[in-house]
Structure 1
Amino acid sequence: MTVTRLSDYKPFTHDIGHVHLIVNLQKKCSITQLRMELASCSGESSPLLLNGDSNLALISITVDSVPLGKDAFTRMENGDLLLHSVPARCVVDVVAKSAHGIHAKSKEGILHSPKHPWFPTYTQCEREGFRKIAFFPDRPDVSAIFDVTMVGNAEHFPIMLSNGEKTHEAVLKNGLKMVRWHDPVPKPSYLFAMVAGHLSKMEGEFTTKSGKKVTIGMWKPAHIHHAKYHYAMRKLKAAMRWDEDENGLEYDLSTLNLVEIPGFCAGGMENKGLIIMGAPYMGTGYDKPNPESLSYIHSVLSHEFFHNWTGNRVTVTNWFETMLKESLTTYRDRQFYAYDKAHVLERIYSYKNVTWSVTDDDGKPLKPNRYKNPNDVGNSYFKYCKGAEIIRMLGLLAGEETFKEALSSFLKKHDQSHTGIEDFMSHVEEKTGRNFTQFKSWFTERKHPDVMVDGRWDEKAHTYTMTVSQSGTKSPRHFPMVMGLLSQDGKEFPLHLQGETGKGAAIFRTLEITKKKQIFVFEGISSKPTLSPFRSFSAMVNTSFMAGAGLDIEDLKILMAHDSDDFNRWRAAQTYIKISSQLQREEEVRLEKRKQERLQPRPSAPT
C-alpha cells in the first residue's frame, strides 16, 4: 500500500483554467472526452502527471490537437498517466473508457445497479473517484471551471443532472439526448457529480437577500412513490436564510439540486450545486417521522448545504486538512441546529457524540485531528463532532462576536481558493490579537486532558477558591471553562474575581485554563455555593460531574432545580438517576443477602 505523508505534499505543476468534459453514458460504461486548458507554473515546458485508475482505459491523447505517440507518455502501474513534456501553455485532450462500478459494492467513480433497471446512474468522487472517470489531476488543490455535456439514450436517461446550471438541452438522432451544464465557480474534481436516469422531483423556490431567485429541485428515483420532502424543503430554506442572516453568506447559483440515492455510501455528498443524499436523510423511509429521524434530516441536510462555503467555495489544499471543511461545517450545522431547535438540545447531542467518539473501536484514544505521518491519507478523516467542538472552544476563547466576524472574513478572503487549518488559525489570531499557539495541540495530540476541580468556601472572608488541575496530556491544554456558582436556595452569585476592578459581575464566567494547576478566587460569596462547572459543555475534557467537580447528592439536587444552564441541569439529572439506580441496586443486593441468611438452617445446639 502506498504511504502518503504530509511531508510528501507538493503543489501541482500546472494551473487549469477550464475543463470541457463530454460524457457518453451507457448502461455499464461511459466514454469520456476531457479537454483541459493548461498553464505551467514554471512558465516552461515540463512533464504533466494525470491521475487515472488502473481500470480506466486510455483511448487517445492529444496536445494542441497533435496526437501523442506511445513514446511521449508513460502509463504507470497505479493507472496514472505521465506526459513526458508539454508546452508552457497548451490544450490537452484525453479520451478514455470508464467501466461503471456496482452500487453498494464500489464507493467511487460512476456507479449503477445491474439488478434494478430503474436505479439511477450516479457518481461519487470524494476522495479519488474522478480518476476512475477521466484522466485528470485528481487532487483537492487543483480547481477549474467545468462545462459538462452529458449524452445518453433518452429512454434510459430521461433526466441528466450535473453541477451548476443547465445551459442547453436537445434531442439528438438515434434516440439520444444531450444536456449541457455550466458551473461558473472553480472546483476540484472531487466535487464533480452526475446523476442520470428515471427521476421525479419536488420543486421549490428561494429568494436570496440580494433578490436572486434560486430554483430548488429535490429529486428521487421515479419508482419511489412515498417520498415526503416537505420537511426537508422547509429546513433547507431555513438553513439558506440563516447563513445569510448570521454569516452574510449567500447561495451563489440560481439552481440547487438534491438527489436521493437509496443505499448511498454516506449520509450525503456536498457536490457543488448537485448534492447527493442518502435515502433516510431527505425523508424517505420515515412514514411516521419521530424527533430522532427529523433531527437526522435537519443535521445532514444542513451540513451538506453549508459545505457550499466551507468546503466548496473555500476548499482544502490537501486531504490532511479535512478538519477545515468537515469540522468547520459540522460546527456551522450545530450552530444552525441550536438556533432552529434549542440550544440545550444541540449541546446534549454534541456531548453524547463526543463522549461516544473519544475512543475508537479498539478502545484506544481517537486519532488526532490532523496527522503529520499517517499510514494512509484516509486516516486524516476523524469524528466530525470532535473537530467541531475544538472550533467551538476556539470561538469561546476568542469571543462569540469576534470569532463570527473572523470566520466570515476568512471565508471571503479565501473565496475560490485552497487553504488549511494553519491559515485559519493565523487569521483568527490576526483578527483577535491573540496568540493561540498552545491551543493548536488540540489538532495534533490524541488524548483529552483529565480535569479535576476543587472548591473551598471561606465563611469569614466570603470567598470561594476554585482550583482547576489538568493531567494526562504531553503538555497543558488551553481550553475554556464556563462556570457559575449557586447558593443553597438556588440563586446565582455574581462572579467577581479577586483583584478585578470595575462594577458589575456576570453569573456566567468563561475562564481560560492554560496551566497544569490554576487557582481562581471569587469574592462576595456570602454562603456556601454549589459549583456549576463546564456549562453548555464548554470544553471537551474528561471530568466526572461529581468526583471531578467536588459535588455531592445535595449539590445535584440544587443544580437540577435551579441551574440557569439547561445543559448542566440535564447532566445533573442524568448523574442523579445513575447514582440513585446504583444505590437501589446495592440496596436490593443487601436485602437479598439478608433474606438468604435468614433462610439458612440454624446450626443445631450441641448435645
Structure 2
Amino acid sequence: MRKNKEKDHFMSEQPQVIRREDYTAPAFLIETVELVFDLDREATTVTSRLSFKANPDRATGAGDQVVLDGEDMKLLSVAIDGTALAASDYQVDATSLKFNAPSDQFVVEIQTRISPVNNTRLEGLYVSQSAYCTQCEAEGFRRITYFQDRPDVMATYRVTINAPRDSCPVLLSNGNLVSSTDLDDGRHQAVWDDPFPKPCYLFALVAGDLACVEDSFNTMTGRDVALRIFVEHGNEDSCDYAMDSLKRAMKWDEDVYGLEYDLDLFNIVAVSDFNMGAMENKSLNVFNAKYILAKSDTATDTDFELIESIVAHEYFHNWSGNRVTCRDWFQLSLKEGLTVFRDQEFSSDERSRPVQRIKDVQRLRAGQFPEDGGPLAHPVRPDSYMEINNFYTATVYQKGAEVIRMMHTLLGTKGYRKGIDLYFERHDGQAVTCDDFVRAMEDANGVNFDQFRLWYSQSGTPNLVWNGEYDAKQQTYRLTIEQKTEPTPGQVIKSDLQMPIKIGLLGRDGDELLAQTIDLTLGKQEFLFEDIAQEPVVSFNRDFSAPVNVGTTPSHDDLAFLMGNDTDAFNRWEAGQKYASDLLINAVKAFGQSGNADEALGDVDAFCNALRATLTNDDLDKAFRAQAMILPGEAMLSEQLQPADPEAIYQVRQAMRRKIGLSLQDEFEAAYRNNASNDAYSPDATSAGQRALRSVALSYLAATGESVFVDLALEQYRTADNMTDRMTALMVLNDQDHPGRDEALADFESRFASNTVVIDKWFSLQAMSSRTDTLAQVKKLMDHPAFTMRNPNKVRALVGAFAMANQRNFHVADGSGYRFYADRLMELDDLNPQVAARLAAPLGKWRKFDEGRAAKMKAELNRILAKENLSRDLYEIASKSVAE
C-alpha cells in the first residue's frame, strides 16, 4: 500500500524541469569503464569497474558526494578501491546511488541485476525476438548499471560478454574484438575494447543467434575496413542495398568532407523491436529492421530511399556525433541537425537534387512547421525539458538541418568546408555546444554570426511578406521584404533573424534577368536591383533557402508562368503547390455554403493546363514531374485554415483530383503506358522516377471514378513483380468500394504473413483508408495475430498511421477517433512511455479545429492527464498540449 501512495504522490506533482541555464560540469570524471555481462533473459548480472577522478575544472574532491544515475535494477554490491561498502556507506533509491568520494582518484566496482525480457520500454538492455540488444540514447545506460548518465562524461570502454553459446553464438560490442573464449557449461565469452573515449549513450551490446553478411571497404589511406550486417536467419538476402549504401556513404564522406573511418571494423545489427529508426553507437550501429531489409518484392522505392538515407545518417554520426559529441542534451541538434544536413546532401548527390529538396521541405512543413506553430514549440536548442526523449523532434532534426544549410549558403561551399574542418580539428574527442560549432564557422571565415545565432534560441517560424516595384524608366526593381515571427509558448517577444533569401527575376519571355542571394537581417528591408530590362516575375526564396512561411501569393497567372518557366526546380514545384493551395482553400471556404465540392471549386481549367504542360515536358526529370502532380495533402491544408473542416477538405481535394484526372485523362493514360518497364527491377533513381510517374498517373485515372481504371489497378496488383507497383495498385484500391479491394488485401496478407516488416504496410494501408468503416477495421486489426502493442513498429503502423495520416476518420465529428486514440496512448504508456509520448502530438492540435472537435480533443488530453501513474514522458506532452 505504501508503494502505491508514493507513486500517487509522485504523479500528483509536476515532474522536475531541467533547465539549460543550470548546467554545471560534472564534479567527477570517469576515465575508463570495464563492464562484465553475464547474460540471462530473466536475470542478467552486470559488473562495472569505473575509474573516477575529480574534475580539475571543479573545486571538488575527497569527501564530496558522488551521484550515479540508476533505474529499474537491483543493486547487489558496491566496492571502492577493492573494499566492499556497508549499507550505511551509501544511499540508493529509485533513481540514484550516492556515496562520498574517498579521494581525488578512486575505482568503484558495482554489481547489479536486470531483467532484459521484462524491459518493455526498450531502453537499456532488452530482448528483441531471440536476441539481446541495447538502446542507451538518451538515458538508457542508467537502466544497465549505475553511472553518471550524461554526454559530457567520456571514457574508454572494455566490455566482457558471457552467454550460452547455443542461444548466443554472436557477441558484439563497440570497438575491436580482443578475444573470444569458450567457457564451462556451454557458455562462451567475448571481450571488446573501444579505444575512443565516448559518452555512455553510445555504448552498445548485441548478443544472439544472428546471420552475418560481410563485405569490406578500402579507405582513402588504403586501410581495409571489415563491414558486417547481422540479421535474423533467413534475411541474409535482404541486406545488399544497405551494404551498398554504407559503402557509398563512406566514400562520399571522404570525398566531400575528407573524413575517414577510424577503426578496422564496422558492424550493423537489424532488430525487430526498436523505438527509433536506428542508433549510431560507436562502430556498432543498431537499426530498426525496416531500415535495413529490402528486396524488390518486399520493399518500395521509398523504402530503398529511406534505407540509403538512414544508413548514411548513422554512418555520418561517426564524426558528427561520436568523435565530436554534445556537451548536454540541450545541444542535441549539434549532432542531429548537422548529420541530417549531411545525409540530405548525400541523398541529393545520389539521386535527383531537386526532388530530394522537395521531399526534405515536405517533411519540414508536415512535421516541424506545425510543431513551431503549436503548444510544443521550442527552439532548435531547447531551454528546458522534463523528459529528454520528448525532444527528439522535427525542430531539433529538420529545422536544425535548415540552420546548417543556411550557414552553408551564407558562407558558400568552400567557406562551409573551412568551418567544418576547423570544427573537427578543434573539438575532436570533446563534448561541445552549438555555440562551439558556430564559432568554428566564424573563426574559419572571419565573419560575425551573432544575429544568426538567434536561430538556435528563438522558436517559431518566421513569416515573410514581399512587395516589388518596377521602374521602367530607370530599369530598376525595388524589392521590400518584411519579416515577423509570432509569439510562441514562453517567448512573446521575437527578434529579427538573419537569413539568406535566394531571388530570381524572370522576364516574360522566360529569360532569367537576375539570380542572387540576398542577406536579410532587418524587420523591413529594401533591395534594389539594377539593369532590369523588363518588369519581372519574382521567384522568391529559391531552393527554400530559408525555412520560412511566405505570406505573399503571386497571381494565378504568375504562378502558372513560374510552373512552366522558373529555372529553379524547387520554386517551379512550389508555384504549383501555391496555386493548388489557393484554389483548394478558397473551395473549402465556399463548400460550407454550397455543400457541393465541384461547385465550390469552380473552373480549374487554367490550373489543369499548367499541370499538363509539366506532365508532358520531357525535358523535366520524371521524378520531378511525379512530385509536381501531387496536390497539397489534407494535413497541410488543415494547417492553413482556421478552423479546419477535415470533411470539407477531404471532399474538395477529392473533387479536385477528379477534375484533374478527367482533364488530363489522355495524358495520364499515355504516361501510364509509356512508363511501363519490362526490365528487371532496379532501385536506381532513374527507374524509381519512371515508376513514380506511372504511379501518379494510375492514381489520377482511378480518381476519375471510371471503373475501368479501378480494374486496371487490380490487374496491376495481380501482375506486379515488385513491391512498388504492388503497393501503388493496392493504395488505389484501398479507398474503393470494389470487390478487388478485399481480394487484394487478402492476397497481400497471405503472401507476406511471415514477413513482419512487410505486414506493417498492410496495417498502415487499412488505417489510412478514407472509407467510413476504417475505425472499426482498425479496432479489428488490433486482434490480428501479427499485431502487438509491445512492438513500436506495429503501433506506429496501425494506431499511429490512423491518427497521423487519416485526417478524415481521425477527426470524425463524434470524437470516436479521439477516444480510441487516447485509450491506446494510455495503454502504451504502461508499456513504452517514450513511444506513447512521441505519438501524442495529434491530440494537441485542437486549436486548429471547430469548437466541437476542439472540446473533444481537450477532453481526451485531460483524461490522459488523469491517468494513474502517468509517465513523465506522456505527462509533459499532454500537459503542454492542453494548456490554453
TM (norm. structure 2) is 0.62
| Residue 200 of structure 1: how far off its partner (Å) | 0.2
| Residue 440 of structure 1: how far off its partner (Å) | 1.8
- Give the corresponding residue for 1:490: 510
| Residue 54 of structure 1: how far off its partner (Å) | 3.9
* 2:100 matches 1:84: yes
2:479 is matched with which residue: 466, 469, 473? 466
| Residue 285 of structure 1: how far off its partner (Å) | 8.0
Mapped partners of 1:252, 1:295: distance in 2: 26
- Give the corresponding residue for 2:422: 409
2:213 is matched with which residue: 202, 209, 214? 202
Mapped partners of 1:50, 1:342: distance in 2: 51
Give the secondary-structure state (helix, strand or coil) at the position aligned to 2:500. strand
| Structure with the bigger percentage of strand | 1
Give the secondary-structure state (helix, strand or coil) at the position aligned to 1:214. strand
Mapped partners of 1:66, 1:110: distance in 2: 28
2:326 is matched with which residue: 313, 316, 321? 316
Partner letter of residue 235 of structure 1? S
* 2:320 matches 1:348: no
1:462–1:525: 8 Å Cα contact kept in structure 2?
A: yes
- Give the corresponding residue for 2:659: none
Q: Which moved more, 1:18-27 or 1:360-369?
A: 360-369
Partner letter of residue 515 of structure 1? L
Change in 2 beyond 3 A, CA 1:41/1:366? closer
Partner letter of residue 528 of structure 1? E
Give the secondary-structure state (helix, strand or coil) at the position aligned to 1:320. helix
* 2:567 matches 1:564: yes
Provide the identity percentage.
Answer: 34
* Residue-by-residue CA offset, 1:57-79 (whole Å, 9 max, x unaligned): 2222222212222222221x333
Mapped partners of 1:578, 1:591: distance in 2: 12
Change in 2 beyond 3 A, CA 1:433/1:540? same
1:571-582 to structure 2, matched below 5 A, reads 571-579=574-582
Partner letter of residue 470 of structure 1? Q
* 2:524 matches 1:517: yes
2:28–2:66: 8 Å Cα contact kept in structure 1?
A: no
Mapped partners of 1:580, 1:373: distance in 2: 41
1:359–1:365: 8 Å Cα contact kept in structure 2?
A: no
1:40–1:46: 8 Å Cα contact kept in structure 2?
A: no
2:555 is matched with which residue: 552, 557, 562? 552
Mapped partners of 1:379, 1:582: distance in 2: 33
1:306 is matched with which residue: 310, 316, 329? 316
1:56–1:79: 8 Å Cα contact kept in structure 2?
A: no
Mapped partners of 2:147, 2:362: distance in 1: 41
* Residue-by-residue CA offset, 1:506-549 (whole Å, 9 max, x unaligned): xx2110111111111111111111111111010111114xxx15
* Residue-by-residue CA offset, 1:350-370 (whole Å, 9 max, x unaligned): 211111121239944632212
1:235–1:298: 8 Å Cα contact kept in structure 2?
A: yes
Mapped partners of 2:449, 2:356: distance in 1: 26
Give the secondary-structure state (helix, strand or coil) at the position aligned to 2:146. coil
Partner letter of residue 553 of structure 1? H
* 2:400 matches 1:387: yes
Give the secondary-structure state (helix, strand or coil) at the position aligned to 1:399. helix
Mapped partners of 1:582, 1:388: distance in 2: 30
Q: Which moved more, 1:248-257 or 1:371-380?
A: 371-380
2:41–2:117: 8 Å Cα contact kept in structure 1?
A: no
2:241–2:294: 8 Å Cα contact kept in structure 1?
A: no
Change in 2 beyond 3 A, CA 1:362/1:543? closer
1:72–1:85: 8 Å Cα contact kept in structure 2?
A: no
Partner letter of residue 64 of structure 1? D
Mapped partners of 2:584, 2:499: distance in 1: 33
Partner letter of residue 360 of structure 1? E
* Residue-by-residue CA offset, 1:471-495 (whole Å, 9 max, x unaligned): 23412111110011111110011x4
1:150-549 to structure 2, matched below 5 A, reads 150-222=161-233, 224-225=234-235, 227-284=237-294, 287-357=297-367, 358-360=369-371, 363-364=374-375, 366-383=377-394, 384-473=397-486, 474-493=494-513, 495=514, 508-544=515-551, 548=552
1:370–1:380: 8 Å Cα contact kept in structure 2?
A: no
* 2:21 matches 1:7: yes
Mapped partners of 1:231, 1:244: distance in 2: 20
Change in 2 beyond 3 A, CA 1:95/1:437? same
* 2:132 matches 1:112: no
Mapped partners of 1:101, 1:511: distance in 2: 57
Give the secondary-structure state (helix, strand or coil) at the position aligned to 1:438. coil
Change in 2 beyond 3 A, CA 1:37/1:541? same
Change in 2 beyond 3 A, CA 1:315/1:392? same
The answer for unaligned runs of 5 or more in structure 2 is 1-14, 487-493, 591-596, 603-884
| Residue 565 of structure 1: how far off its partner (Å) | 0.9
The answer for unaligned runs of 5 or more in structure 1 is 496-507, 593-607
Partner letter of residue 164 of structure 1? G
Change in 2 beyond 3 A, CA 1:251/1:591? closer
Change in 2 beyond 3 A, CA 1:365/1:196? closer
1:66 is matched with which residue: 83, 101, 106? 83
1:143 is matched with which residue: 134, 145, 154? 154
| Structure with the bigger percentage of helix | 2
* Residue-by-residue CA offset, 1:407-462 (whole Å, 9 max, x unaligned): 12202211111000111122222222222121222222221111111111111111
2:418–2:445: 8 Å Cα contact kept in structure 1?
A: no
1:369–1:380: 8 Å Cα contact kept in structure 2?
A: no
Change in 2 beyond 3 A, CA 1:339/1:12? same
Mapped partners of 1:289, 1:67: distance in 2: 55
Partner letter of residue 575 of structure 1? K
| Residue 330 of structure 1: how far off its partner (Å) | 0.6
Mapped partners of 1:577, 1:214: distance in 2: 50
Partner letter of residue 564 of structure 1? T
Q: Which moved more, 1:330-339 or 1:55-64?
A: 55-64
1:456–1:466: 8 Å Cα contact kept in structure 2?
A: yes
- Give the corresponding residue for 1:602: none
Change in 2 beyond 3 A, CA 1:285/1:96? farther
Change in 2 beyond 3 A, CA 1:226/1:39? closer
Mapped partners of 2:126, 2:78: distance in 1: 25
Q: Which moved more, 1:509-518 or 1:366-375?
A: 366-375
1:369–1:382: 8 Å Cα contact kept in structure 2?
A: no
Change in 2 beyond 3 A, CA 1:216/1:555? same
| Residue 50 of structure 1: how far off its partner (Å) | 4.4
What value does the CA root-mean-square deviation take over the aligned residues? 2.3
| Residue 342 of structure 1: how far off its partner (Å) | 2.0
Mapped partners of 1:557, 1:301: distance in 2: 39
Change in 2 beyond 3 A, CA 1:48/1:93? farther
| Residue 581 of structure 1: how far off its partner (Å) | 6.4
2:17–2:384: 8 Å Cα contact kept in structure 1?
A: no
1:316–1:324: 8 Å Cα contact kept in structure 2?
A: yes
Give the secondary-structure state (helix, strand or coil) at the position aligned to 1:205. strand
Partner letter of residue 239 of structure 1? A
- Give the corresponding residue for 1:604: none
| Residue 248 of structure 1: how far off its partner (Å) | 0.9
